[in-house]
Amino acid sequence: MHIQWYPGHMTKTRRMMEETISLVDIVIELVDARIPYSSKNPDLDELAKNKFRIMLMNKSDLADPAATAVWTKYFEDKGFRVIEMNALKGTGMGEVTNAARELMAEKIEKLRKRGRINVPIRAMIAGIPNVGKSTFINKYVGKTTAKTGDKPGVTRGKQWIKLKKDFELLDTPGILWPKFEDQQVGLKLAFTGAINDDILDAQTLATEFINHMMVVNPECIRQRYGISFDTIAEPHEVLCQIAEARGFKLKGNEPDLERAAKILMDEYRGGKLGRITLELPEDITEMLAEKEQREKEKAKADRERKAEYKKKKN
């Protein structure tokens, strides 16, 4: 399943972020705690390389707490201030302003000594589509300021939000990156709903999810649907069992796999399969090592082709 989704408005968003990044002191990025690496936009590391960084691990209530702790340390070691949160319930919300003030304390003191007081902290809020950014802002501000929606890509333009006299927030539309380095990243984004379901095949997505869960946590599927299978079972057969268990039938008594697929993904996203994290730092290390090896092999093949061409030309 090849996934690529980069609507035109996201290109405009990236350009806008490049133009406005100089106006902010801090970049606050929301990631999905179930897929912290895959839901983190790598473009921001270059755009915000000279800015303070706060990472909000949203939907932490849906992720494995032990895995979230591992990810927190991973990103803290890279210089991020990490806050676990649940934007819907407001958990962790109060830590954001405090963290921003702590990061800016030295700069604010220097400005105060130069006679500049009440200079507001300016932060940019960023995140991929459907990660909960608008929900966070609405809860953070205390009123419905940013639009929210079940489908990715609702926020379309930038907007400054004044929270207090000393804190201003620049909201940006959800943004992905033009090309996923690894298709596993695209799949995990699709699993959690960050990519519009309308462009995906439900059955293929569900079987890919089952295949991933065979490694991560097959027991959660067995328990949720009361079915039995081993970890070498065909994902399609597992989906058939889910349809049978739920009584989803088509004419001719055939299992309704489309309905079963949509129910499986909806229930995963709603936390009904349990608190499941789909990746760990060690998985990413392995993925990056494989990527490096592929690049080395490609570079070697390119050199050999050039040498062969040069030899023939001479």
56 touches 96 (CB < 8 A): yes
| C-beta separation of 49 from 21 below 8 A | no
Distance CA 33, CA 63 (A): 6
The pLDDT score that the predictor gives to residue 3 is: 58
Residues 126/127/130/134 CA torsion (nearest 10 deg): -20
pLDDT for residue 304: 76
pLDDT of residue 144: 46
Query: Residue 21, Cα to own-chain centre: how many angstroms?
Result: 21
Q: What is the pLDDT of residue 154?
A: 39
Rounded to whole angstroms, the Cα distance separating 264 from 269 reads: 9
Q: Rounded to the nearest 5 degrees, what angle is found at the Cα of 279, between the Cα atoms of 277 and 283?
A: 155
Torsions phi, psi for 149 (to 5 deg): -165, 160
- The series of mean pLDDT values per 10 residues for the chain, 314 residues long, is 56 74 91 94 85 96 96 95 93 90 90 83 86 87 54 52 81 64 83 85 95 94 95 94 96 94 96 95 74 73 77 72
Handedness of CA 169, 170, 171, 174 (dihedral sign): negative
Which pLDDT score is estimated for 84?
96
Starting at the edge strand found earlier in the chain, the sheet holding 167-171 runs 81-84, 52-58, 26-32, 121-127, 167-171, 159-164
CATH superfamily entry for domain 8-171 = P-loop containing nucleotide triphosphate hydrolases (3.40.50.300)
Which residues have CB under 8 Å from 108's CB, separation 6+? 101, 119, 121
Determine which helix (DSSP H) or strand (DSSP E) holds 238, and give its type and residue range: helix 235-246
Portions of the chain given CATH number 3.40.50.300: 8-171
